[in-house]
């Protein structure tokens, strides 16, 4: 019996959301069913910081980021590779790719 035949996609997405972004990417290459579950917005919403909407909306860089991407995974990856300016231009925020932790970098004056 194959686990992908037994568990609903929502259940697999929930299980994957309890892992890490790195693990979710690994799941997505395992099989078609895992890819669908691992790439879901439900999973990537869990990996984004809980306050990501507030952070982005108060960003000096670009407050339209939330609506700029077709998926939460794309937004997550963007925030990993493209720091946003926050705190009135004094800090840059970038997500650590493997864990989703927020990293704050002072802006040189």
Domains of the chain: 3-46 (1.20.1280), 48-106 (no CATH)
Interatomic CA distance for residues 102 and 81, integer angstroms:
12
**Maximal C-alpha separation, the chain:** 61
What are the tens digits of pLDDT across the range 15-74?
Answer: 999 999 999 999 889 888 889 999 999 999 999 999 999 988 888 766 677 778 889 999
Residue 2 has pLDDT above 70, yes or no: no
Residues 6 or more apart whose Cβ sits within 8 Å of residue 61: 83, 84, 85, 86
pLDDT tier for residue 75 given thresholds of 50, 70 and 90: very high
pTM score: 0.86
Give the residues across from 85 on adjacent strands: 92
Between 109 and 106, the higher pLDDT residue: 106
């Amino acid at each position: 019996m194959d686990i992908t035949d037994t568990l609903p996609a929502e259940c697999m997405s929930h299980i994957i959301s309890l892992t890490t972004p790195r693990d979710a990417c690994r799941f997505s290459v395992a099989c078609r069913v895992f890819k669908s579950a691992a790439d879901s917005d439900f999973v990537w919403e869990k990996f984004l910081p809980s306050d990501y909407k507030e952070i982005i909306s108060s960003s000096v860089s670009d407050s339209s980021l939330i609506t700029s991407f077709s998926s939460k995974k794309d937004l997550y990856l963007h925030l990993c590779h493209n720091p946003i300016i926050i705190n009135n231009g004094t800090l840059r925020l970038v997500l650590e790719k493997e864990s989703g932790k927020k990293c704050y970098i002072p802006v040189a004056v």
